[in-house]
Amino acid sequence: MTRPKPEDDEYWNSSKFSAFTFDDEDDEFTKMKESKRAVNSMLVDDDDDDDDVEKVSWSGEPIGSKPNFTHSFLLLQYTLAYAPELRKPKSECKDYMSDWSPEETVRRMRKGKVFSLERFRSLQEKLLLLDEAVSENDGNVITAVLIYLKKSLSKEILFRELMLREIALRHYVHYLKEMGEQKLLVELMKALGRTDDMALMQYKEHLNIKDEGQRRDFLKNCLSLPFSQDDAIHVQDHYTLLERQIIIEANDKRGDAEIFKKFPRKASILNMPIITTLYYSCFYHYGESDVSTLTISEKQYILTALGARAKLKSWFDVDSLFNTKNWLGYTKKRSPIGFHRVVDILQKNNAPVQVLQEYMNLIDDPELKLSLAQKYKCHDIVIDTYRDLKDRQQLIVYRGKVERGSKEDKKIEELLCNMQIRWKN
């Protein structure tokens, strides 16, 4: 071992010395505390002598910018206070234990002193003890009392009493959660009539099941749990989803189809959210069959399918997503999401300018259209929009942003010379 630095040495010599002086006895500790108090007040009285005291530092190190002896003394005080043998005095007489009131017992528990709960045998005494712990707000002690009650009361009685004591109940629930006492928790929730919570608590268990087959079976069993109406639908969806994912996974794992060779899967589809599964289906199995029986909105479908088809650069599919035929057979582009959002998604998937422009032109709001067109450098649209807005000034300004002699430059030139247009400025 390397030799400690000098100041460490000094510190340890001194502190060992102090630890040695004080025995395990409780009264010794009290004496020490008394003398500490005496020393403390002594020092405080001559505040002016701070400068002299400064030189006497506990470890020989400078103590911050304003060193004083009180600080150093506290160092000793804390070191000693947390020395274990001093905290648990042997001298405490067992005879007196049986007489400790709930107040005294809780007080001793809070101070980390020796205590005994065995004398609290009648239900009334036990509850007094619990209520006293709760009134002192110390969660550590509340839980300690609850552990004792758990051991010494039947669960029916304990549950019944906890029903009337919200704070204690929450400590108990948390304790059981941490101990992993799932069965007891479920019983407790049932006894309390909190069936929603009970169902969720049981549902949570599925997270611990690694094997997907077992997980699916577990979820199937969950279907009969008393969930709230809305949650029951979600749990049903969860089961249906995993069931489908298992089938998809079994087929796709080998990756025989051409598309998997071209775009290898990054991960298995098991346990992915519904939207991710939809994306996956739109990416690898587009048009194969009805994608999902799960209830999703048109908006969710369009957003997801758009992302997947755009990623594959299937502009034809993208196109047909938005085509609607009216009764005369004309096709019209319609979207449940704003076309500016469509453009955004297409752009993020590196769509060519022609595709971008097509959808940009479908944006109703000219301001929005302009800002997007400028952002993505769709010159034609910017120029056409200014033309439609009859904004000559802006067109002149924009001319400075396109390359001189380019197609766009010429287009602006032509427009500016066009006498037919009635410019507003």
Partner 1 sequence: MAHTGRRDAPELPDFSLLKRLARDQLIYLLEQLPGKKDLFIDADLMSLLDRIANVTTLKQHEVDKLYKVELKPIVSTSDQLCFLIRPRIQTVKWIADIVNSDKASGRFRRYKIIFTPQKFYACETVLEEQGVYGDVTTDEWAFYLLPLDDDIISLELPEFFRDNFLEGDQRWVTTAGSALRLVYSLYGPFSKVYGIGRCAKMVYESWRDQVEDGEQKARQPEIGNVFLIDRDVDFVTPLCSQVVYEGLVDDIFRIKCGSVEFGPEVTSSDKSLKVMVNSQDKVFNEIRNEHFSNVFGFLSQKARNLQTAYDKRRGMDIQQMKTFVSEELKGLKQEHRLLSLHIGASECIMKKKTKQDFQELLKTEHSLLEGFEVRECISFIEEHINRQISMIDSLRLLCLLSITENGLLPKDYRSLKAQYLQSYGIEHLLTFANLKQIGLLVEQQPGETLTVMESKVGKLVNDKTAGKLTDAFSSLAKKSNFRALSKRLVLIPKSGEEYDLRVPRDMAYIFSGAYIPLSCKLIEQVLERDGWTGLEEVTRMLNGHEFAVTGGTNGTEARIKTDPQRIILVMFLGGCTYSEISALRFLGREKGYKFIVLTTAITNSARLLEALLDNHA
Given the rule CB under 8 A, which of 78-86, 156-164, 260-268, 282-290 is the region that contacts partner 1?
78-86
Among 297, 326, 420, 425, binds partner 1 (CB under 8 A): 297
| By the rule CB under 8 A, 82 interacts with partner 1 | yes
Q: Which residue has 């309390």 as its token pair?
A: 192
Q: Do the Cβ atoms of 19 and 76 come closer than 8 Å?
A: no
| By the rule CB under 8 A, 14 interacts with partner 1 | no
State whether residue 332 is helix, strand or coil. Answer: strand
| By the rule CB under 8 A, 54 interacts with partner 1 | no
Window 338 to 367, contacts with partner 1 (CB under 8 A) = 341
Number of chain residues interacting with partner 1 (CB under 8 A) = 78
Given the rule CB under 8 A, which of 167-175, 317-325, 351-359, 378-386 is the region that contacts partner 1?
167-175
Window 24 to 43, contacts with partner 1 (CB under 8 A) = 37, 40-41
CA distance 334 to 336: 7
CA distance 242 to 231: 17
| By the rule CB under 8 A, 258 interacts with partner 1 | no
Q: Least distance in Å: CB of 420 to partner 1? A: 39
**Ramachandran angles phi, psi of 234, nearest 5°:** -65, -40
Among 48, 51, 99, 230, binds partner 1 (CB under 8 A): 230
| By the rule CB under 8 A, 274 interacts with partner 1 | yes
| By the rule CB under 8 A, 188 interacts with partner 1 | no
Q: Whose CA is closest to 10, among 52, 53, 57?
A: 57
| By the rule CB under 8 A, 70 interacts with partner 1 | yes
Buried b vs exposed e over 111-129: b needs ≥16 C-beta within 10 Å? eeeebebeebeeeeebbbb
CA distance 225 to 256: 40
| By the rule CB under 8 A, 139 interacts with partner 1 | yes
Contacts of 360 (CB under 8 A, 6+ apart): 339, 343, 369, 372, 373, 376, 378, 381
Given the rule CB under 8 A, which of 90-98, 232-240, 257-265, 405-413 is the region that contacts partner 1?
232-240
The nearer residue to partner 1, 107 or 411, going by C-beta atoms, is 107
